[in-house]
Amino acid sequence: MRDSIIMLFTILSVLCNAQIIKTKRGIVSLDGVHVAKISNKSNVYTFMDLKETPMYTIEFVDKSIVDSVRDSYIRLNRVYNRDKVLELDYISPSAFSGDEKSAVYTCIKGLKIIDNKGINIKSLDELFKNVPKRKLDTKTKEAYTTRSKIDKMNITVNNVGEILSNGKPVGYFTNLPVSFGSDNTISEKTFVDIEIYDANSKYIGKYITTTKQLKTAGGKTFTIYKEMSGRASILKFPTYQAIAERMAIMDPNFIKIQEKVIVGEVTKDNAQK
């Protein structure tokens, strides 16, 4: 009985202290009091005081990192001091909230730069002095690590199916369609798999068009693109560049060995020669 009473008072306390946040016709209200104004243009939300003086902007970013992993965050920038832009996590009042509600909710509940007196410039400036670290999950962190490796390789595919790393040939595709273009996505299902070889014509692996899977010569497999719904929807079919990039991660020797031979990295063997 005692535990039930304590729980009841706890719930009542939370309900009594809960803030009522509303946004209607560009006016942000907190517990029934107008505290700020907001406008939207091209996915950028501008927060203003009640006199409509712009104070800061919030832009929503949703980008693909690698394969099916995406990252969603906000960019926050002061109107009166644009020397620095912050990339921050945001929070939403519910899973079905739009960007505007999420922006307002984040400013009040998360960043605490809007209170019952309006936009708190002191808190806003303090935020830029002590920038909070983003809370990335393990999957997203690993995706950024993979993306960093891929970017350093600078992999491209030319119009004859040749794979290049930093402008140097490192491999090539075979079994390409007649209408092949380096920027094309692979949408056609064929009985003949698209194969990858290194610059020395050593078999590296293949892309199976019927299952959208990559398989290395060593037997590793990876489904490169998966369909997703909602905000994180992505392209159903991969590009040739995406396949080459993922194959380079699955088989590190594919690009690493070629870099030593073609780019001219000095090794003990080369030095002896």
Structure tokens given for 257: 């060995």
Of 107, 132, 116, residue with least CA distance to 56: 107
pLDDT of residue 78: 97
For residue 4, the surrounding DSSP H or E stretch is helix 2-17
Residues 141, 97 contacting (CB under 8 angstroms)? no
Find the range with the poorest average confidence among 25-34, 103-112, 189-198.
Answer: 189-198
Q: Would you say residue 257 has pLDDT above 80? A: no
pLDDT at residue 16, rounded to an integer: 41
Q: Please write the tens of the pLDDT for every residue from 123-168.
A: 999 999 999 999 999 999 999 998 999 999 999 999 999 999 999 9
Q: What is the pLDDT of residue 3?
A: 46
* Strand 168-174, strand 54-66: pairing: unpaired
Stretch 47-52: mean pLDDT: 96
Band the pLDDT of 193: cuts 50, 70, 90: very high
Cβ 19 vs Cβ 30: under 8 Å? yes
pLDDT (0 to 100) of residue 12: 36
**Structure-block tokens of residue 243:** 């396949």
Kindly state the tokens that stand for 212: 């959208």
Count the Cβ atoms, other than its own, within 10 Å of residue 100.
Answer: 17
- Contact yes or no for 136/144 (Cβ under 8 A): yes
DSSP string over 104-130: HHIIIIIS--EETTEE-HHHHHHHHHS
Per cent of the chain over pLDDT 70 is 82
User: pLDDT tens digits, residue range 75-122?
Assistant: 999 999 988 999 999 999 888 889 999 999 999 999 999 999 999 999
Tell me the two tokens of residue 63: 């980008």
How many CB atoms are located within 10 Å of the residue 66 CB? 20
Residue with tokens 């003949």: 192
Which one-letter DSSP state was computed for residue 131?
P
Name the token pair of 38.
Answer: 């907001």
* 48 phi and psi angles, rounded to 5 deg: -125, 160
Average pLDDT, the chain: 84
